[in-house]
Structure 1
């Protein structure tokens, strides 16, 4: 047998009987697992597409894959520009908000990176639970709202807080490699 898979009838039987006999799952399918009592559990939240199905991202046409990669790369570039574009404006921002403390100028530039440190701990697991696209879109919307909040800030503390949140919601940096991995096989 090339790919032995536990069939649906056996799954239903195991759930109905909850026997103490060991059930061996040979497929390695993440949807099927055994508990300590060796009764079968099925995780209904996991979508398991056959690699031959056209809905599977690995089977999408190349133009679709590359358009997704291009949009992700463009967002990655724009995010990195957002990190450093404030550097030439720091003296003017300090003057605008009547701030003389040098710590504020350092925070203004570096706080974004601190947000990027904590963002993956939030974005990565959420993308595994809810999917890449919803988390990517919500993160980008929150990112744009935080950019707008930063632009409308009336004091230095608010601007620094919004720059931290911008770094936190930068999803393209965190999800980019996962998106590429979802679209292409290792051989590609």
Structure 2
């Protein structure tokens, strides 16, 4: 069974909710846990910095857990091999369109993710959905369709009209409206 954890965004904030999110990613996996950190939605210039920051967030939330971290490689073939070696994958937020473009090039992605814990924050959560609302450019988009849902990250009550528009976009399927620092778990 594959466990998907969709986070509403702002995972870098040092809060109890975010600490629980990082715990959720690895809590069902026996030590040592190999975690692949995917920064494709971010500018390549800051991948290393983002990688170090995420490692600290995990270590702070799980000081007793034995964690090994790997930064996802630039090319598709290397990424496929990395996926075979890890128990968990954490996909950071950023530009959803760039992230989706990259992941669409990975052959057999669904099977490569099987029986792992896959966590995504903001763009990293949106990309797996059938449809999603992109806050950065105020657009409604078709995702990879790995999860049969519509997803709205960074949700607040002030965005109710945008949520209504997402309901009418694409097929009539369930919507997950996820506020910042909150997450949902989907087992598939």
Q: Same fold (TM over 0.5)?
A: no
Please state which structure has a larger fraction of its residues in helix. 1
TM-score normalised by L of structure 2: 0.19
Q: Give the structure with the higher percent strand.
A: 2
Highest relative contact order (Cα 8 Å, sep 6+), 1 or 2?
Answer: 2
Give the TM-score of the pair, scaled to structure 1. 0.19
